[in-house]
Structure 1
Amino acid sequence: MHFLAGGMRTNVYVDGFNLYYGCLKGTPHKWLDLEALFDRVLPNNTIECIHYFTARVEARPNDPDVAVRQATYLRALSTLPRVRVHYGTFLASPVRAPVLECDANGKPIRQNGKLVVKRKPNGAVQMEWVHKTEEKGSDVNLAAHLLRDALKGVVPCAVVVSNDSDLLMPVHMAQIDGGIVVGLVPPRPQGSAELKRMANFKRDIRPHHLAASQFADVLQDAVGLITKPNTW
């Protein structure tokens, strides 16, 4: 964990949804310049490429503009020469799920650490149809690109930005079979302890890194102006 990677040519592999839910949701820092961020978080590394893995979201009943905001952000990312965006898929499907007991504030109730499900008078669990959305492919795409680059010797150092323990084996293979140094930037402190132990080094994203790494409110590309979403 105390490996020094100073000056190493480095590629960064970012799980976009992990990054968003780990340190961006609910903050004023969503208009994030990834090049500026990782140059700050990894000041002693020479960052050659930032691979960003995501999926295009669809409008939701409670947030009809979410897809427009994401498209605007992806367009902003396209102005950064060292960023490559890779797309998985976003699936929506109806599923039946147990209904939870909630308190007066609408929050799920727990007993002995376990969620409490509603039951019918006959004791059967009360079920409802719910709209489930699920992102597919980002973790697999990240692992594939990490391993390909490691085995081809593209760079001597890779940095993974994720909390996902599913990446344990790809990281291990990149280190052992690819012979590269693999660092970790966990988007939230409570990420996989195993992944932290396996990484050769770890760096954390601090609030001041995010605040100092924002795009300008208005950018320009070949199409025209790109304006930061009003709610961001």
Structure 2
Amino acid sequence: MLRTAIYIDGFNLYFGCLKDSPYRWLDLMKLCQNMLQAHNEIITIKYFTAYVSARGSNQGKPLRQQVYVRALKHTIPELEVIVGQFTTHSVNRKLDPPIGTQKFATVIETREKGSDVNLAVHLVNDAWRDHYDCAVVISSDSDLAEAIRLVRQSHPEKKVGIFVTGKQNSTKEMIRCASFVKKISTRALSLSQLPDQIPETNITKPEGW
């Protein structure tokens, strides 16, 4: 058996695979089990995310996210949630084309900060501490390529694979570093859903999910 650790960039997974799909109520353990081989023993799933704030007409977004994280924690004992920051601020942006004499507009910009750095640090640190034989990174963020390269260079006996969440051409650098690469398919997502109500809890799938 291969001790297998999963490292998930939550926002990258959401925007790469889930945002406009009917599969947002995703069981992360089932997804990994459905995509890995029988000899992969999943010993930990580290889920890197940040808690969003209510904005405009989408006031229910924070609650839906919190419900989902609670569902994951109740369902997956191996899960660890590592929380970064979600920042919102006003910035000036150039209009193209301008509206009359107005060349700039003030917009609200939101950014999730910390998850990619946190994921890279945990991936490298866990390798040095010999916490896994095989690691799987669920992300298409090419900034993670160097962390994957370092693990494979310093620990050639360990495998580091990627489950691609978006277009593969955006992850060429990661693909070159990885031991194996798999694309998350619609079928894998559809086979990996949580029950509408989590057993022995009052946690239910949010309306519209």
Task: Report the secondary structure of 1:57's partner residue.
Answer: coil
Q: Percent identity?
A: 40
- 2:100 and 2:64 map into 1 onto residues whose CA distance is 45
The residue aligned with 2:92 is 96
Task: Report the secondary structure of 1:185's partner residue.
Answer: strand
1:96 and 1:129 in contact (8 A); partners too: yes
The residue aligned with 2:80 is 84
Distance 1:127 1:151, change over 3 A: same
Distance 1:121 1:58, change over 3 A: closer
Alignment of 1:25-174 (within 5 A): 25-44=19-38, 45-79=40-74, 80-99=76-95, 117-119=96-98, 126-174=103-151
State the Cα distance separating 1:197 from its structure 2 match.
Answer: 1.6
Distance 1:66 1:149, change over 3 A: same
* Cα-to-partner distance string for 1:166-196 (whole Å, 9 max, x where unaligned): 1111111111123321111111233311111
**Where does structure 1 lack aligned partners over 5 or more consecutive residues?**
1-6, 100-116
**Where does structure 2 lack aligned partners over 5 or more consecutive residues?**
none
The residue aligned with 1:106 is none
State the Cα distance separating 1:205 from its structure 2 match.
Answer: 1.4
- 1:150 and 1:160 map into 2 onto residues whose CA distance is 13
User: Does the alignment pair 1:193 with 2:193?
Assistant: no
Report the TM-score when normalising by structure 1: 0.84
Select the residue among 197, 202, 207 that pairs with 2:186.
207
The residue aligned with 1:18 is 12
Task: Report the secondary structure of 1:192's partner residue.
Answer: helix
- 2:82 and 2:138 map into 1 onto residues whose CA distance is 15
- 1:27 and 1:92 map into 2 onto residues whose CA distance is 25
Higher relative helix content? 2
Which stretch has the larger CA shift, 134-143 or 176-185? Answer: 176-185
1:10 and 1:158 in contact (8 A); partners too: yes
Select the residue among 195, 203, 208 that pairs with 1:226.
203
* Cα-to-partner distance string for 1:126-155 (whole Å, 9 max, x where unaligned): 101100000000000000110110111111
State the Cα distance separating 1:208 from its structure 2 match.
Answer: 1.2
The residue aligned with 2:159 is 181
- 2:15 and 2:71 map into 1 onto residues whose CA distance is 19
The residue aligned with 1:113 is none
- 2:58 and 2:97 map into 1 onto residues whose CA distance is 28
Task: Report the secondary structure of 1:70's partner residue.
Answer: helix
Partner letter of residue 153 of structure 1? D
Question: Which structure has the larger Rg?
Answer: 1
